[in-house]
Amino acid sequence: MDLGLKGKVAVITGGSIGIGLAIARAMASEGVHVAICARNETRLQEEAEKIRSTYGVSVLAKVCDVTNPDQIMEFSSEIRKTFGGNDILINNAGAGTNEKIMDAPDTKWQYYWDLHVMAAVRLSRALIPHMEERGGGVILNNSSICATQPLGYEPIYNTTKAALSMFSKCLANECIPKGIRVNTINPGLILTPDWISTAKKLTARDDISAMDYLDKLAKEYTPIGRFATPEELAHFFLFMCSDKASYCVGSTYFVDGGWLNTVT
């Protein structure tokens, strides 16, 4: 299927590892030029170089902590300078948490509010005018199944991801007259390097291996009985960015192997 994305420009936050990197690589494989950001510059530049040499597209890789409004503005103007604007924005950067509501300080709530919500607000505000000038585009907010079906150990994650989903819905209504389609993706269990290193730590003193631990977790949580690869999820992002998904507006799509335990 020709997705018709060749020559477009996609901005992907947190594009240096895991899901964001898989999306950046999938975009590049379709001939999309990419702008990626993250905080760790060495990893970011290494992955950017691999994308350039593998797919022959232009890659802007800029350090940007998306919780910092000034760095978001610098990233946005660099995108403008390099590509003249963008057609696609993927708000992906994010991280899990671990706390009890009664113990977590305000500073922690604020950090994850900035990371999961304000980053998407600020990037949208900065980049939508460029997208409008180019005749429209697509914004995808990478939320989580936890926005709807919370995990007990991470209330701050669950709450801020739920807020991201509502922001996404409101933005979709505001943007569709500009020809910009906004949607939310709620992934389930996606096997990123971070999951593997967490599993290694959790099983360090146990008889079970990290991979067996993850396998058990996936069987317990998901009807499909396994994690998805980041590439499996990235394919869905690609489709949602293409005109093949032209009637998809303001919705939330679960990519979760059946984990969501309700109908919406």
**Quick check: 187 binds ligand NDP (CB under 6 A)?**
yes
Tokens of 99: 């706390």
Smallest distance, Å, CB 202 to ligand NDP? 15
Distance CA 232, CA 181 (A): 22
Indicate which single residue of 5, 9, 11, 16 sits in contact with ligand NDP (rule: CB under 6 A): 16
255 touches 229 (CB < 8 A)? no
Indicate which single residue of 11, 12, 38, 162 sits in contact with ligand NDP (rule: CB under 6 A): 38
Interacting span for ligand NDP (CB under 6 A) from 54-62, 86-94, 120-128, 214-222: 86-94
Smallest distance, Å, CB 79 to ligand NDP? 15
Our CA angle for 75, 86, 65, nearest 5°, is: 25
Smallest distance, Å, CB 190 to ligand NDP? 4
**Quick check: 27 binds ligand NDP (CB under 6 A)?**
no
**Quick check: 85 binds ligand NDP (CB under 6 A)?**
no
**CB-nearer residue toward ligand NDP: 176 or 260:** 260
**Quick check: 35 binds ligand NDP (CB under 6 A)?**
no
Distance CA 187, CA 160 (A): 15
| Number of chain positions touching ligand NDP (CB under 6 A) | 29
Instruction: Verify whether residue 112 is a known catalytic residue.
Output: no
Active-site hit among 55, 112, 157, 221: 157
Interacting span for ligand NDP (CB under 6 A) from 37-45, 48-56, 122-130, 243-251: 37-45
Distance CA 38, CA 16 (A): 6
List the interface residues with ligand NDP, window 121-160 (CB under 6 A): 142, 144
Interacting span for ligand NDP (CB under 6 A) from 169-177, 186-194, 197-205, 216-224: 186-194
Contact map string, positions 192 to 211, toward ligand NDP, x by CB under 6 A: x-xx----------------
Q: At what angle do helices 69-83 and 119-133 cross, to 10 degrees?
A: 20
Indicate which single residue of 86, 92, 148, 159 sits in contact with ligand NDP (rule: CB under 6 A): 92
56 touches 30 (CB < 8 A)? no
Q: Could you identify the residue written with the tokens 């936890």? A: 146
**Quick check: 78 binds ligand NDP (CB under 6 A)?**
no
**Quick check: 14 binds ligand NDP (CB under 6 A)?**
yes
Catalytic residue IDs: 157
Binding residues vs ligand NDP (CB under 6 A): 13-14, 16-20, 37-40, 43, 64-67, 92-95, 115, 142, 144, 187, 189-190, 192, 194-195
